[in-house]
Amino acid sequence: MRTEPKQLRLAFGTDPLTQMSITWQTSEPVENPVVEYGETPSLGKRVPAERVSYPYETGIIYRALMGDLQSGQRYFYRVGCEGGGFSRAYSFRTPQSGLHDFIFTAFADHGTTRFSVQNSRNVAALNPTFHFIAGDLSYADGRQPVWDKYLEQLEVLAARIPVMVSFGNHENERIGEQRIGYIAAETRFAMPNKGQYYDFRISNACFVAFNSNERENEAQYEWLQRTLQRARSDRAIRWLIVFAHHPLYGSTRRRGNNEAMIRRFQPLFDRYRVDLVIHGHDHVYERMYPMRGGKAVVKSGNRYRQGAGVVYVTCGGGGVSLYDLMPEPTPWTARREKTYCYLKVRVGARDALRVEAYRVDNSLIEAFEVA
């Protein structure tokens, strides 16, 4: 049916504890599209959807905000309309309020391969509070129907778990000679600040996402500095976790360390004692020992003292393809492997930040803790 809701995807609203947005697409416009939701499968509440569009869209995109949610609560929902039909019913859970342990998952460089789909299934099975994709999402590269395939595949994850994203180089699209920029990703994902740079807080963690393509953008840089500073001086925040597509350090062939990224962002991450930075772009798994001033502060073990250094993780094995590693790792590399991968991060309220990296077959690559 051409009015059937497809590509369902949840995302946090401005307040992740009480607001969830739902975006979907139909082939033809419908009358009075809505989201129906409630704390039981009989739903009960209903909010109208608005149409969002961009010049190269391939269908009709609708978005609705469930803005009056209770934190720590399961909700059931469906989207659609009376005349055109509804989606099946799904459910999601809002984050708890206050200090509590929770997990989130992450990867980058996702794509539409069988590995991409398996990785989405893998993280969905962990029931994280949210999933983060650190750039290079669909690899549409101007071919807009690829976004539809990507978002249809992402539904196994995103209809139940809020998916937050930052933009990579492949989100900055061109069609033929014409640069269309981020407009497809901005419209298709309902991120704060159109996905360019934003932060959100859960329990005692502050998550900060920015667009590393726009490395030299002064407004973004000033926002990043202000946001890191504010989070680090807030006694309610213990963990400071950053997402950006391009890594600073790495030993992927034809890539290596990114001197421009290092020059621009290493001083900031050091100054505000960022705990964990998650990247993609290099299609491998590579993790550094805690670093300060461009050097590792320790070079052994897998349990580190909080504040000693910044731990950088590249998890670019989201599914699209893999790159070769250079023969030698960087002097600071703790672990690297050419493999499809995802991260499971447990954010401790009173104990450690525990990061587990897995291959796409769910075998463990490594685990480390900051405490």
Minimum CB–partner distance for residue 243 and Fe ion (Å): 13
117: helix, strand or coil: helix
Q: Which is closer to Fe ion, CB of 71 or CB of 169?
A: 169
Whole-number minimum distance, CB 116 to Fe ion, in Å? 15
Residue 206: which residues within 8 A CB-CB, separation 6 or more?
199, 200, 227, 231, 234, 237, 239, 240, 241
169 binds Fe ion (CB under 5 A): yes
| Chain residues 45-84 in contact with Fe ion, contact rule CB under 5 A | none
Q: Torsion angle of alpha carbons 210, 213, 219, 222, nearest 10°?
A: 60
84 token code pair: 């055109």
HSE on the CB side for 206, CA within 13 Å? Answer: 22
Q: Which is nearer to Fe ion, 58 or 321 (CB)?
A: 321
Q: Is there binding between residue 321 and Fe ion (CB under 5 A)?
A: no
Taking the least distance from each CB to Fe ion, the nearer of 281 and 287 is 281
CB of 141 to Fe ion, least distance (A): 11
Question: Is there binding between residue 148 and Fe ion (CB under 5 A)?
Answer: no
Residues 149 to 168 in contact with Fe ion, rule: CB under 5 A: 168
Q: How far is the CB of 252 from Fe ion (least distance, A)?
A: 11
Q: Which amino acid is at 200?
A: F
If binding is defined by CB under 5 A, does position 255 make contact with Fe ion?
no
How would DSSP label each residue in 48-82?
Answer: E-EEE--TT-SSEEEEEEE-SPPTT-EEEEEEEET
User: Closer CB to Fe ion, residue 69 or residue 164?
Assistant: 164
- Which amino acid, 34? V
* Nearest-CB residue for Fe ion: 281
Taking a C-beta distance cutoff of 8 angstroms, is the pair 242, 205 a contact?
no
Please return the burial class of 53, using the count of CB atoms within 10 Å of its CB with bins 0-12, 13-18 and 19+: exposed
To Fe ion, the closest distance from the beta carbon of 136 in angstroms equals 4
Pairing outcome for strands 276-279 and 311-315: parallel
Burial of residue 142 (number of CB atoms within 10 Å: 0-12, 13-18, 19+): middle
Is 19 or 169 the residue whose CB approaches Fe ion more closely?
169
Minimum separation from the CB atom of position 278 to Fe ion (A): 14
- Judged by beta carbon, residue 139 or residue 197, the one nearer Fe ion is 139
Residue with token string 């997402």: 243
Question: Residue 188 or 281: which CB sits closer to Fe ion?
Answer: 281
- Least distance from C-beta 280 to Fe ion, angstroms? 6
> Which of residues 3 and 169 has its CB atom nearest to Fe ion in the complex?
169
Phi/psi region, residue 10 (left: phi>0; alpha: psi -120 to 50; beta: rest), is beta
Interactions with Fe ion, residue window 261-320 (CB under 5 A): 281
* 136 touches Fe ion by CB under 5 A: yes
Mark residues 211-230: x for contact with Fe ion by CB under 5 A, - for none. Answer: --------------------
Question: Residue 364 is which amino acid?
Answer: L
Name which of 5 and 168 has its Cβ closer to Fe ion: 168
Number of residues that bind Fe ion (CB under 5 A): 4
Per-residue binding letters, 90-129, with Fe ion (x by CB under 5 A): ----------------------------------------
The letter for the amino acid at 98 is G
Task: Give the C-alpha separation, 277 to 293, whole Å.
Answer: 15
Minimal distance, residue 238 CB to Fe ion, in Å = 31
Taking the complex as a whole, the smallest distance from the CB of residue 170 to Fe ion amounts, in Å, to 6
Binding site for Fe ion (CB under 5 A): 136, 168-169, 281
